[in-house]
Structure 1
Amino acid sequence: MNLAIAHTDLAALIERCEVTGIRLASGEREYETGAVLPAGPWQPLTVGLAARLRPTAHTADSTLVELVKLPDGPAPTSLAALADPLGDPDAVYLGQAASPAKALTTTPNYQDGRRIGLHVDNWDKLDYQTKHTGRRRLCFNLGPGTRYILLGDLDIRAICRTLYHDPENRYPHTDDLRAYAAGHQPLRCFRLRLDPGEGYIAPTELLPHDGSTEEQAKPSTAAFWLGHWPRGVLPTLV
């Protein structure tokens, strides 16, 4: 398991996290064919599995998932400036994305509107050997509804090692995730709840991920930044 979620309160993590397997989209009008989706039904996170998500002494900050809340103190002059004091002067505000209610996954293909399912980002255009050093994504749920972050438990480098004898010269891509899933290889999908005002910092260049509003009656909007942030720059939820 490559997924590592920073936490000191095991019960708090278990309370907001569920797990399931994956399936491939086929013949579903709103999804790309072959998109990797949560299979359902969602199951409670066990104590044993939660303990395996704990980072080790070797977990690099750039590969760590953190569940965070908005910092205390005066509000920033603009939403875009929220990340300014977090330790990376070169952090980039990506803007906002509105998600409808009751969406199993939220990210569309902007060419035709079909959703792409679990995927890996490629903002930094890194190859296999450097993919784990990419910027992490900071996200806050602006509401009004609750939303989720979906995360696969294997990173895209591990997936490429399974698929290819010589992954070193590859540029890992969502297509590799889909090929791995099509080969019926094991992958868990975790669902972590984010209420309005809550968010995450996650290595979305490295981990299969997407947003979700499944089972939620209200839509929500998320705001996003990219940066190289050390762990612990924002108050933790767990």
Structure 2
Amino acid sequence: MPLHLAFTDLDALRARCETADVRAAKGEPGYEDGAVIPSGMWQPLTEDTARNLAAPPWTPPSTLVEIVLPPTPVEPLDTLAAHMGDPGAQYLGQALAKPNMVTTTDNYQDGRLIGLHLDNWDKLNYGQKTTGRRRLALNLGPGTRYILLGALDAQAVCRAVHPRDYTRRCPSTDDYRVHTAAGHPIRIIRVRLDPGEGYIAPTEYLLHDGSTEGQDQPSAMAFWLGHWSRGALPALV
């Protein structure tokens, strides 16, 4: 199923979101060839588009995106999950992003940026892809940053790229790269996250990455993986 956002205030959502298309990186300094990156032509989120992102009541929590206000850390981050709705959540650590990065995740082996991507912590095949854990992220600051989210889910892209045997596949970042290189459009949403704000998102199921584009301060994010029910943390929109 496509990108679904939980929100109750349409204007509050639109105030922190923009949308754009993606393109494939080719011969660009710092990026892997073929990486899926924003086109750069960010546009305001229209009312119609925002309404189309609204999550129906039956949306499984495991495929839902929520913009949330996690508790303020007053203890080690690896134990904070006990106060966030899933005591069994796995703390993944922190990632620091420099200012003005279009995307933030690099390949640890060579340092090149990988662009928007799928996580693969749970090693899920096509039929299981909707059941993975969601990622909870908290912006520790000092700067503002964004979460970039693709509107086309991993199963849909896998079916398009592997029409004959998609049920035997494990949807991957490479599927999105092939899809984008072939000229097929993918819309992405950019959601602003100020210090202290966060998200819960199915990063095993939706194309995503962080961004500090246009920001003049670095920001650190803390991450957890877990199974959160809808509304487990206070919503910001």
Shared fold per TM-score greater than 0.5:
yes
- Counting only pairs closer than 5 Å after superposition, residues 6-85 of structure 1 correspond to structure 2 as 6-71=6-71, 75-85=73-83
* Contact 1:66 1:200 survives alignment (8 Å): yes
1:233 corresponds to which residue? Answer: 232
1:178 corresponds to which residue? Answer: 177
- Counting only pairs closer than 5 Å after superposition, residues 191-206 of structure 1 correspond to structure 2 as 191-206=190-205
2:91 corresponds to which residue? Answer: 93
Q: Per the alignment, in what secondary structure is the counterpart of residue 22 of structure 1?
A: strand
* Contact 2:85 2:233 survives alignment (8 Å): no
2:131 corresponds to which residue? Answer: 133
Q: Per the alignment, in what secondary structure is the counterpart of residue 225 of structure 2?
A: strand
Residue 153 of structure 1 and its aligned partner are, at CA, apart by: 0.2
In structure 1, how many angstroms separate the alpha carbons of the residues matched to 2:203 and 2:74? 25
Bigger strand fraction: 2
Q: Deviations over 1:161-182 (max 9, x none)?
A: 1122221110111001101111
* Contact 1:5 1:65 survives alignment (8 Å): yes
* Contact 2:71 2:83 survives alignment (8 Å): no
In structure 2, how many angstroms separate the alpha carbons of the residues matched to 1:91 and 1:178? 30
Percent identity for Structure 1 against Structure 2? 59
**Structure 1: segments with no counterpart, 5+ residues:** none
Q: Per the alignment, in what secondary structure is the counterpart of residue 152 of structure 2?
A: coil
Residue in structure 2 matching 1:162, options 160, 163, 166? 160
Q: Per the alignment, in what secondary structure is the counterpart of residue 114 of structure 2?
A: strand
Residue 76 of structure 1 and its aligned partner are, at CA, apart by: 4.1
Read off the aligned partner of 2:122 and give its amino acid letter.
D
Q: CA RMSD in A?
A: 1.1
Q: Deviations over 1:163-202 (max 9, x none)?
A: 2222111011100110111111121011000000000000
In structure 1, how many angstroms separate the alpha carbons of the residues matched to 2:70 and 2:226? 17
Residue 78 of structure 1 and its aligned partner are, at CA, apart by: 1.5
- Counting only pairs closer than 5 Å after superposition, residues 187-226 of structure 1 correspond to structure 2 as 187-226=186-225
Residue 83 of structure 1 and its aligned partner are, at CA, apart by: 1.4
In structure 1, how many angstroms separate the alpha carbons of the residues matched to 2:86 and 2:195? 24
1:143 corresponds to which residue? Answer: 141
Q: Across the two proteins, how many residue pairs are aligned to each other?
A: 236
In structure 1, how many angstroms separate the alpha carbons of the residues matched to 2:129 and 2:138? 24
Q: Per the alignment, in what secondary structure is the counterpart of residue 175 of structure 1?
A: helix
Read off the aligned partner of 1:143 and give its amino acid letter.
G
State the TM-score, normalized to the length of structure 1. Answer: 0.96
Runs of 4+ deviating beyond 2 Å: 85-90
Q: CA distance change for structure 1 residues 230 and 19 in 2, over 3 Å: closer, same or farther?
A: same
